[in-house]
A and B are shown apart, each in its own frame.
Chain A
Amino acid sequence: MSRPAGRTDWAEEEDEEIQALPQNSVVKNKDGTETFITYSTREDGKKIKTTRRIKKTVIKQIVNPRVAERKHWEKFGSEKGRPLGPQTDTVSVAENIVFRPSANWKANADDKNEEEKKKADLKQSKVKCRICNGDHYTMKCPFKDTMGVADDATPAEMPDDAPQPGGTGMGSGSYVPPHLRGRPGGGGGEKMGGKYERDDLATLRVTNVSEIAEEQDLRDMFSRFGHVTRVFLAKDRETGRAKGFAFVSYADRSDAAKACEKMDGYGFGHLILRVEFAKKPDGK
């Protein structure tokens, strides 16, 4: 602490005792600040040098004479003979704490943050009902039994005059085996929701597709005949190349039929496409 500013070279000191930590030092700077250099050994054995520049300002305070007198008391006990001022071994200054009392301070605001964030994230990831477009899962829709699935892209489910063959009507909720479905008045079971199942009737299977084909190519070709809702081109997972078959779904079955007729035998790339319905209309 009381060491003069211009100390001897440290290099020498280190040569003598490599293990020991250099002595803490205090250097008085010209601008009135003091630089405290302290050394410590961290748990992992690494030496830490901490350099702190401290500016000391004298604050005059008017105090009770008793208090003023006590300021000049001799130190005693373990502190006996120590110089004036706080000692670095017993006193340190912690990092700044912002403390603002507030009227509607929320308990554990920080603690809850994380949980709330998660909840907010969940809310952010929009849950949308396919039936009524509400913010709940389709499964939980209150109109589940009374309304069909609203899919703006695929009005395939729009009820026609007569129940569609193989359609899954919304009549009585009782189970109807697949082979009985679509019979007039047969009603239908509740539809198990995969969207891939939904438009099977308007889906074409395209085979003998060139390896270099892209989904977009197919989409372009097939959208000539009507609104294409989905194009699936099977690709090899490793090479990323087309496997040679694809599925194309239409919004309307008649478009699909037209496309099937026209595109079967169409030359695409160096191959001739073969197009057929993915599922036979009568479920056979």
Chain B
Amino acid sequence: MRPILLSGHERALTQVKYNPDGDIIFSVSKDHVVCAWYSHNGERLGTYHGHQGALWTVDVDPTSTLLATGGADNTMRLWEVKTGKLLKTWDFPTSIKRVEFSADGTLLLGVTEKRSGHLGTIVVYEINPDPEAKQSDEHVLRIVCEDSKPTVAGFSYCAYYIIAGHEDGSVSQYDAKSGELLFNREVHEADMQITDLQWAPDRTYFITASKDKTAKIVTTDALEVMKEFVTDTPLNSAAITPVKDFVILGGGQDAMSVTTTGARQGKFEARFWHKIFQEEVGRVRGHFGPLNYVAVHPQGTGYCSGGEDGYVRVHHFDKPYFDFLYEVEREHAQANL
């Protein structure tokens, strides 16, 4: 496996995303620029200029025509993927920590930061999938989180619910129509921030990563913890792989304490765990800073990771990855033949 190193960013990566076909990777970093890359060879398709501050988040709609970004310049922006043209800017009183499209691409949510007099909120906009069309200025829904600020959020299957992860380690479920809080559950250790929430392909369950060094698979309906992956380092990201039953966890100690330890102790590796048996099956080394985000190719053929070191590493899995089976899995496969 020969990773492709994408070195188009000058500062730490904050999020990387594949489009649904898996041919383009979008990356955002603290250097204000959004980059689009072809995933198969790492060629850069283009850059999206306009943001005035560090970028925290990016998401692409299901048809790969629209791109949403959010950052520390208190704006959420919509771009045309193909040309890099800025289509719409929404202004907020605080920065945008997370954006995500619904599965059909008609809704876009943004998570706003809590800061001096402003509570953390989740805002939802209706999106017109036509890049030529004018996008609405008014949000269709605004959820104000009074208890603990939301750090990550996403739409469930069919956009029935909005699931949000909070700073206090809890996960809550909101009605995506009314914005009503259905329920909230302590999933991670108290006061350990949830750093990432990524969906399974069918969005009936998701994986959360937290600073409490664990990642957990939680069901969308009942917010029930199904699986738990306990590591030895604070996690920044967790992803579920299609094809193989793995999860990929990324993390590492905080950026501020990196300089005091060697690369080995930093634990800057992507960790592969078996999703069902909850056992670690391997690690991939490479970054020399913590991994801020890991994204999996939607077809399960590879993954990419964005690190604090400013690099995106794109990996295409090779044969041993696909061949790997647990003994019981192998027996099962044999029996079914």
Distance in angstroms between the alpha carbons of A86 and B282 in the assembled complex: 30
Tell me, yes or no, whether A126 is within 8 Å of chain B by CB. Answer: no
* Minimum C-beta distance from A67 to chain B (A): 4
Distance in angstroms between the alpha carbons of A181 and B83 in the assembled complex: 101
Contact A94 B46 (CB under 8 A): no
Tell me, yes or no, whether A101 is within 8 Å of chain B by CB. Answer: yes
Distance in angstroms between the alpha carbons of A77 and B24 in the assembled complex: 16
Contact A101 B232 (CB under 8 A): no
Tell me, yes or no, whether A87 is within 8 Å of chain B by CB. Answer: yes
Spell out B's residues near A (CB within 8 Å). 1-8, 21, 23-24, 33, 38, 40-49, 63-64, 82-84, 232, 246, 264, 272, 279-286, 313, 315, 317-318, 320-321, 324, 326-327
* Minimum C-beta distance from A160 to chain B (A): 61
Q: List 26 A-B contacts (CB under 8 A).
A: A63-B21, A63-B23, A66-B64, A70-B21, A75-B44, A75-B46, A76-B47, A76-B83, A77-B46, A77-B49, A78-B33, A79-B45, A92-B5, A92-B7, A93-B3, A97-B3, A97-B284, A97-B285, A99-B318, A100-B282, A101-B282, A102-B282, A103-B279, A103-B326, A105-B280, A107-B280
CB-CB < 8 A to B49: which residues of A?
77-78
Q: A66-B64, A105-B282, A111-B264 are in contact. Are A100 and B324 (CB under 8 A)?
A: yes
Q: A70-B24, A79-B46, A87-B44 are in contact. Are A97 and B320 (CB under 8 A)?
A: no
How many residue-residue contacts, CB under 8 A, span A and B?
127
Q: A64-B21, A96-B1 are in contact. Are A101 and B46 (CB under 8 A)?
A: no
Distance in angstroms between the alpha carbons of A103 and B279 in the assembled complex: 8
Q: A66-B21, A67-B21 are in contact. Are A94 and B313 (CB under 8 A)?
A: yes
Distance in angstroms between the alpha carbons of A126 and B38 in the assembled complex: 59
Contact A107 B232 (CB under 8 A): yes
Distance in angstroms between the alpha carbons of A213 and B84 in the assembled complex: 93
Closest to A61 in B: B40
Known: A97-B286, A105-B280. 7 other contacts (CB 8 A): A70-B21, A78-B49, A91-B5, A97-B2, A99-B321, A100-B321, A105-B283
Tell me, yes or no, whether A60 is within 8 Å of chain B by CB. Answer: no
Tell me, yes or no, whether A71 is within 8 Å of chain B by CB. Answer: yes
Distance in angstroms between the alpha carbons of A79 and B280 in the assembled complex: 40
Contact B46 A91 (CB under 8 A): no
Contact A79 B47 (CB under 8 A): yes
Residue from B64, B286, B320 in contact with A94 in the complex, judged by beta carbons closer than 8 Å: B286
Contact B23 A101 (CB under 8 A): no
Distance in angstroms between the alpha carbons of A94 and B287 in the assembled complex: 11
Distance in angstroms between the alpha carbons of A71 and B64 in the assembled complex: 13
* Minimum C-beta distance from A234 to chain B (A): 50
